[in-house]
Structure 1
Amino acid sequence: VRCMAQQARRAGSICTGVELLAATGLLDGRRVSTHFARAAELQQRFPLLRVEPQSIYIEDGKYWSSAGMSACIDLALAMVEQDHGAELAREIARQMVIYHRRGRADTQSSTMLDLAPRSDSMQKVLAYVRGHLRRALSVEELAAVANLSRRQFTRRFRDETGQSPAKAVEALRVETARSMLGESRHTLEYIAREAGFAQVEQMRRAFLRVCGASPQSLRGRTNSAVSMPTPQMAMT
């Protein structure tokens, strides 16, 4: 593995396959990703790694690593985009019927999964929110989607998700905006508008509440990897 990785212009791993690359010593001092359930063990076994337990995938120089099995699709699409452009990557994603393509700024956690309402009506509301983030999305509007009164809706939504409607909408806006941060061509103003924030400062405050970091700092981490020319690949 060490010989192949050294000869290749790009080397990557999927999920716990990062352990094979780590054992070669080639990842010492580098940022890596793996399945969140194995991150602590990986860090303990290889203390010289910089394990990021929430990253979907990471590019550190010529070395790439991804989280759980589905994350390898996101990693592969990112490689295609780097080598052949965003349009081809989008077309491949469409052909694969991928609903939401995750970027390197996304995390392994999912707001939709975390909320996980039981009833069809609350699931319908969350789907509506996800598809209409540019709207103001008042409680009254969401209650109408659920065909409930404002009071009934607020109580049921909190009972099923553990959050208020306002907090859930904010979390989904932040998740969408964070995904867009990986696309450096978009300005913060554009991202804020597309995610439904009235202004960049409102988005910044929401990021600090939800992520504990500003959009600017997260974008800096995302764009810190060095792009490589079209490579030969070695995968583990």
Structure 2
Amino acid sequence: MQDVLTSVKWFEPELILTGVLLLVVLVDSTLAAWRNVAARVLTVGGLLLTLVRVVELRGVSGEIFSGMAVVDPLASFFKALLIGASLLVILAFTFRNSRELHGLGQGEFYALMLAVTISNVLMATANDLAMLYLALEMVSITSYVMVAYMKGDRMSNEASLKYILFGAVSTGTMLYGLSLLYGLTGNTSLPAIRDFLAAGLTDANRLAVYAIALLVFAGFGFKTAAVPFHFWCPDVYQGAPTPVTA
């Protein structure tokens, strides 16, 4: 029980973001004239509060939720970096001054931005293959929706479709590599996999590791637009709204 309470306490940044996301959705579902302003204020305030909590936990180090995630200074650094990036994107533009997003729903955009931020933060804390994969897919699925946010624009819809198709291929490639990695090591825990690989490999296992690395890095390469897997990137960036590209 104490481990669960400690895990929840160290998981507060993610819980704050989730709570703010639900509040933004709830506020946006009303017909009040102030809902757009309230959604923006809630989003900015929630990100700032989360950033403060991440900084407060920067000296904490340990595994949470039975080793599925980890809290340490490195994870806190990337959490702060990702939350700060989301905050900068939201503060850098307004719907009123945006040629692309003017007249579109604001609450949905802020909710999607919070969802992407939560997914990125979870990816930074992942200590298990399952957690890492789920967090990465949460980022991808939310990004597909955000790219097509200008639903009346043909280029935006085309960009989203291309993104989905390439994302599906990269997901399958990466997932196959991760399944082979689990089959080789018998574990999904990242520290356990590290220890298995550090203990030394036979010639047969070494060949399998090379194949696994190729599949996993190819999948990650597509999702992160790393050379030489970046050829989908120009079309998607061209069709997506500028804040989404940022």
Answer whether TM exceeds 0.5 for this pair: no
TM-score w.r.t. the length of structure 2 is 0.28
Greater length-normalized contact order (CA 8 Å, ≥ 6 residues apart): 1
TM-score w.r.t. the length of structure 1 is 0.29
By percentage of residues, which structure has more helix? 2
